[in-house]
Structure 1
Amino acid sequence: MNSGTSRGTARTEKTLWAFLALSLVWGASFLFMKVGLDGLAPAQIVMGRIWFGALTLAAVMTVTRRHWPRDPKLWGHMVVVAITFGVAPYSLFAWAEQSVPSGLASIYNATTPIMTLLLTPLVLRSERLSRAQSGGVLIGIVGVVVLSAPWQLIGSADLAGSVPGQLACLGATFCYGFSGLYLRRFVFGRGVDSLTLSAMEICLAAPIALLLLPFGGLQPVQVSAPVVLSIAALGVLGTGFAYIWYYRVLGEWGAARASTVTYLAPVVGVVLGAVLLGETVSWYEPVGGLIVIAGIVASQRGWRMLRRATSPAQPLSAPQPRSHASSS
């Protein structure tokens, strides 16, 4: 094995670990938001997690002695990303969880690949899905349907009353799907590493999030240890380090396949509920989880093929063809 292949294999393995860590942290984020709602308004949760995340990433930037980019066009594009991948979906999910269970919210989060597929022809004409990738996405969708057990929801008055919240969840995943494609078209290929891009986005989102103050951001809070720890975890892990991992996965795998990270969120939510909250696990939950994992494997064209590949897409720090960053 030559040095180039070795480096490609090592990079692929690191991306896989980033994918798994991201799945765990973002899956747990819905539980953290639900706990945070015990003492905070949705707007306060959004501001708290973003500011914790911004401080974390700014500290990492300082420790690693990275320099902030000076390209004004790049900063302009990152403002769009800060809104569509940060403030907007965070606000929608936090508001939705007032009426939607955290597990159901995590299941809706798994529709991000569907949104990505719907938006790809409009935002990113140069990227097309292979049959294996499309098949993997469809398998994952089947797993999410089994995991959500729609036959259990029929006749549920509580869930029927949460329709606005469920629509808000879909709005959030629409934002996620759009932002991933926007990054691929307008941001990647400029020679900026994933950590710097993550820090730019969240640090831009921090002042934007202050616009939520008139919408419940100033109401009295009920501080408790679980609430504080949940918001800190949302910020440091779910909004800080998770963004570094996400940008790495997105840059290596592409928008559609990177969005399959959301398939594992329902699985993580079920496990956390059973282990930490003593929730009962029904037969369809592990079955759906296995189907979801099968979809992820299929979308990545199998573990063996993925290990042989050096890079399905250009890494973030390398120059990319002009077609990937056109119209900037």
Structure 2
Amino acid sequence: MSASGLTHPHTAAPSLPRAWLTPLELVALGAIWGASFLFMRIAAPAFGPLPLVELRVGLGALVLMPFLWKARASFGPGLWPKLALLGVLNSAVPFALFAWAAQRAPAGIGAITNSMSVLFTALVAFLFYGERIGVRRAVALFTGFAGVVVLASGKTGGEGVAWAAAAGTTAAFLYGIGVNMVKRHLAGLPASAVAAATLSCSALMMLPFAIATWPTQPIGARPWLAAASLGVVCTGLAFAVYYRLIQRIGPARAVTVTYSVPLFGVAWAWLLLDEPLTPSMLIAGTLILGSVALGQQPVARKAS
């Protein structure tokens, strides 16, 4: 999961008959993004990380391309280098890290570390843009890192998950950089069009690496279905729903979907892949989700 960080004018409060749509879409989005780690766990061993990422970003870009076409007049030539860099930081490299991790550890590991992206967004804003982080968010960051340490120290089926946890945490940090870039350099552009543009850039940049590492052995129907679901549903359609939520309820409320992604990620892997739910995953998930919730609380501002 990657939040765009784009802001939009607040729309009027939804009427009562439509009020149920927001919680329903938030839950559905959490379930979809949680399933992305399940699909990576199925597809990554067959495709390898780079070909899988190429399929994911390419299919996602195709789904969102109508938004980019509609807003094409807003995307001048000078904007595309920023979009390409954002594609590297917000799609290509994080997706590759999560796919690499999915080859080595249960799907729940990636889903849990993904939650750190919200905290890393605040950390990057503090380190590079001079924003206040506040005591509460500082405590939240330390708590979240403690959760990652617990997760990395766990053992699942005799296999260490430290490298997978490190890869997922690095991906979450890159998401934090990407969100801050969008906020400061691409504000005012339609969010779904920006997503289509960055995914398209990612697909073009990843294509040579995907071709060079494309598997030589035949790939079964199950990995193909998982890869297609990852690109079309978990990337393209999910981004469209997420950006519609941002427009309707604002980014601060939309980002609360982060809380449910690891819960669904672990649940899907347990139900459909028989992956165990270990004590270290429970403790780490509690620490990280608690830290994200704490970090989401507004920072008190001193009166000037």
CA gap 1:15/1:197 in 2 versus in 1, 3 angstroms: farther
Rounded Cα–Cα distance in structure 1 between residues aligned with 2:165 and 2:94: 13
1:268 to 264, 270, 273: 264
Query: Secondary structure of the equivalent of 1:7?
Result: coil
In the TM superposition, residue 19 of structure 1 has moved relative to its aligned partner by: 4.1
> Could you tell me which residue of structure 2 aligns to residue 45 of structure 1?
52
In the TM superposition, residue 131 of structure 1 has moved relative to its aligned partner by: 6.8
- 1:86 aligned onto 2:91: yes
Instruction: Give me the identity figure in percent.
Output: 27
- 1:36 aligned onto 2:60: no
> Could you tell me which residue of structure 2 aligns to residue 187 of structure 1?
186
Contact 1:263 1:292 in 2 (8 A): no
Contact 1:180 1:250 in 2 (8 A): no
Rounded Cα–Cα distance in structure 2 between residues aligned with 1:115 and 1:139: 11
1:243 to 232, 236, 239: 239
Query: Secondary structure of the equivalent of 2:260?
Result: helix
Rounded Cα–Cα distance in structure 1 between residues aligned with 2:162 and 2:147: 18
Rounded Cα–Cα distance in structure 1 between residues aligned with 2:159 and 2:111: 17
Q: Please list, as runs of the form range in 1=range in 2, the aligned pairs for 1:124-135 lying within 5 A after superposition.
A: 124-125=129-130, 127-128=131-132, 134=137
> Could you tell me which residue of structure 2 aligns to residue 166 of structure 1?
165
In the TM superposition, residue 269 of structure 1 has moved relative to its aligned partner by: 1.7
Unaligned runs of 5+ in 1: 303-328
In structure 2, what residue type is equivalent to 1:153?
K
> Could you tell me which residue of structure 2 aligns to residue 153 of structure 1?
155
In the TM superposition, residue 264 of structure 1 has moved relative to its aligned partner by: 2.6
Count of matched residue positions in the alignment of Structure 1 and Structure 2: 286
Contact 1:139 1:291 in 2 (8 A): no
> Could you tell me which residue of structure 2 aligns to residue 119 of structure 1?
124
In the TM superposition, residue 163 of structure 1 has moved relative to its aligned partner by: 3.8
1:7 to 5, 12, 21: 12
- 1:141 aligned onto 2:141: no
Deviations 1:32-58 (A, max 9, x none): 011102421211101111111111112
Unaligned runs of 5+ in 2: 1-8, 299-304
Rounded Cα–Cα distance in structure 2 between residues aligned with 1:208 and 1:227: 23
> Could you tell me which residue of structure 2 aligns to residue 202 of structure 1?
199
Contact 1:136 1:294 in 2 (8 A): no
Q: Please list, as runs of the form range in 1=range in 2, the aligned pairs for 1:274-285 lying within 5 A after superposition.
A: 274-279=270-275, 281=277
CA gap 1:207/1:6 in 2 versus in 1, 3 angstroms: closer
In structure 2, what residue type is equivalent to 1:182?
M
Contact 1:84 1:178 in 2 (8 A): yes
In structure 2, what residue type is equivalent to 1:50?
V
In the TM superposition, residue 300 of structure 1 has moved relative to its aligned partner by: 5.4
In structure 2, what residue type is equivalent to 1:116?
T
Q: If the length of structure 2 is used for normalisation, what is the TM-score?
A: 0.75
Rounded Cα–Cα distance in structure 1 between residues aligned with 2:139 and 2:162: 28
> Could you tell me which residue of structure 2 aligns to residue 212 of structure 1?
209
> Could you tell me which residue of structure 1 aligns to residue 6 of structure 2?
none
In the TM superposition, residue 27 of structure 1 has moved relative to its aligned partner by: 1.3
In the TM superposition, residue 141 of structure 1 has moved relative to its aligned partner by: 3.5
> Could you tell me which residue of structure 1 aligns to residue 5 of structure 2?
none
Deviations 1:271-298 (A, max 9, x none): 1123323455568877876777666666
In the TM superposition, residue 268 of structure 1 has moved relative to its aligned partner by: 0.8
Contact 2:86 2:181 in 1 (8 A): yes
- 1:222 aligned onto 2:202: no
In structure 2, what residue type is equivalent to 1:253?
P
> Could you tell me which residue of structure 1 aligns to residue 63 of structure 2?
56
RMSD of the TM alignment (CA)?
A: 3.9
Rounded Cα–Cα distance in structure 1 between residues aligned with 2:144 and 2:67: 36
